[in-house]
Structure 1
């Protein structure tokens, strides 16, 4: 071995030993057995403006058959429990909640955040800000507003899923209603309008003879927020109109009654694309909803031949009318009555007319209720089903 190789090998050995000295090893490890895994979180308003923080804690089961054990029909052998604490802020309540649990709270699995109606009407900006700032809380967690107390929602025993968080996560995957994450909601709050919308949930009545808690919470409409305060509620049909305007419609079944015949025709939406086309003309703010969609016929109880081009055109026009009607319902309730821009009109005008927006954007709360909306809707029936 040459002297140069010896020197090189010595330097490499020194660097290796020097690096080992700075390895952190496992001094700060946290064992799963020492953690309380939070699956869902609820926030309720209490007296004296205090906040009640409720959590759904997962209970790991032992080996064998119990490892996959769920909730029994009687509510026993549950693999989750609910704990609550009250404080002047969420952080204060969180500290008091830790005192009630023998394990260190771990928030990394919490994908569901539920706000009670009373708290939502007071404003939730500060609470969402806490969720976004906390290093463990997920910004992709879904937010809901509940008619009943959030604590009561978390205490339900779903008959099919493991716990309530699983139920709500599955429901939002269907895309039948609003689907809003913490990050998306915080982005709405700092948008041009600052208005928001969240899925509204309520407890489904249990089957006759069952315990009151042996049921689920389900999405039943949308809570509308002016800035960060809840100002109203819209039902499922009006929510569909909001989704069309926001280009968020993913699932829709439309049933029409063709004229001069008995029966109904139902179509299933397969694809939709919506654009907002803003225009300022002679001082008037206008916007056009341009929508194109493709659908399949899934049921025909009439005697009409849907393969006939004339019948197909008639069905498509009726579908256009149904979509326009749903959008107008949303505009009447949300734009005219609640004056909340959850459609994204402000962003559309800002993008196209940045100079005008910089001058007039401060008056958006006055301008928005008077924006004229027109429609260019085109529906296309792609398939008539397997039978003629």
Structure 2
């Protein structure tokens, strides 16, 4: 009998332990039904004339199953004003019949007024609030963010999805909340964000970039200069450039299929020099000239040299703006720190000033890999095509 008791004692003890553990579990004490919450896809914040924060939210209005598969989910834009982001959210909650749920926010917009006043306090709220994702994409808007949130796209369900589709194409800068926080707290305390511009009631586009120094927006980069910054940051994933050939009318369009940017620092006495080495492989996707570049070796070489020069000019234009404002959003400081730790230690407190004096050494090589399905210009009489 005693042996039988000893055999069942361990399983019994294990069962009692499980029951006690289950009793201690809290369960879904904070659960909310779907019809009790308002799902938010995007947030926008701007500074008002009264120097308060206006916080806007894009609330998704789900469609019922009976409404049909072709119908898109609608959106409702709500807002609130307060002295801080937290205060504005509280005021906005008072204007909504359901509890705002921010766990699905994928886009955060900062109006230009707030960006120039400083976004650091707003960033603190966004990364501290438990529901928000740090992978949310961040943008600056030329006007009030509410205007962007209110856009009704033709294809996408919401303006948030529209902006994400632009970013996912790889043509423009992509910065999420986590990356922005790291840039603002990094060695240079400089950051860069894409700028969103409203085109019409159904479309918004990425139109340049905004430069930040110590949490405040200090300058804008136009789309052409912004492309140069992407080259510097090794973030050119997809791009098309059109180049005119010498002694030939029309232009040739190239598509970047592969690129790599390498930063090579060196110090010579008091001179801090950065070599920017760029290697790119392009495809020729349109020939609008009368030249058969595949048949003329000198024309192909000229094309590659012109493409390399175009990249170099864009990079130099971007760096001029960065150095003018002392905003190292490329990471020059980090590269010098890694290669020359002793020299960096002496210079780090004066880095913005030193960054303005960095000398640039360009090494760009663009190679045209393929010329497409046809060699000579299409749709042009043979006798007019230049092959020499």
* Secondary structure, counterpart of 2:24 in structure 1: coil
How many residue pairs are counted as aligned between the two chains?
A: 372
Aligned to 2:268: 281
Q: 2:13 aligns with which of 1, 11, 14?
A: 11
Q: Please state if 1:170 is matched with 2:165.
A: yes
The 5 A counterparts of 1:345-360 are 345-360=332-347
Aligned to 1:130: 125
Tell me the alpha carbon deviations over residues 246-296 of structure 1, each in whole angstroms, 9 at most, x when there is no partner. 111111112111112233211100010001111111111110101111111
Aligned to 1:181: 176
* Secondary structure, counterpart of 2:373 in structure 1: coil
Aligned to 1:192: 187
Aligned to 2:384: none
Distance 1:277 1:66, change over 3 A: same
Q: Please state if 1:22 is matched with 2:29.
A: no
Q: Give the superposed CA RMSD.
A: 1.7
Aligned to 1:120: 115
The 5 A counterparts of 1:170-319 are 170-204=165-199, 206=200, 214-308=201-295, 309-319=297-307
Q: 1:139 aligns with which of 134, 159, 173?
A: 134
Structure 2 unaligned runs (5+)? Answer: 376-388
**How far apart, CA to CA, are the structure 1 residues paired with 2:370 and 2:83?**
58
Aligned to 1:326: 314
Tell me the alpha carbon deviations over residues 215-234 of structure 1, each in whole angstroms, 9 at most, x when there is no partner. 22211111111221111111
Tell me the alpha carbon deviations over residues 49-107 of structure 1, each in whole angstroms, 9 at most, x when there is no partner. 2101110001122122346523xxxxxxx711011111111111111111221211110
Q: Structure 1 length normalisation: TM-score?
A: 0.92
**How far apart, CA to CA, are the structure 1 residues paired with 2:233 and 2:25?**
51
Aligned to 1:54: 56
Q: What's the offset of the Cα at 1:155?
A: 1.7
Aligned to 2:353: 366
Q: What's the offset of the Cα at 1:122?
A: 0.5
Question: Contact conserved, 1:61 with 1:67, CA < 8 A, in 2?
Answer: no
Q: Please state if 1:45 is matched with 2:32.
A: no
Aligned to 2:88: 93
Question: Contact conserved, 1:38 with 1:56, CA < 8 A, in 2?
Answer: yes
Q: What's the offset of the Cα at 1:22?
A: 2.1
**How far apart, CA to CA, are the structure 1 residues paired with 2:357 and 2:301?**
34
Aligned to 1:35: 37
**How far apart, CA to CA, are the structure 2 residues paired with 1:301 and 1:46?**
50
Aligned to 2:362: 375
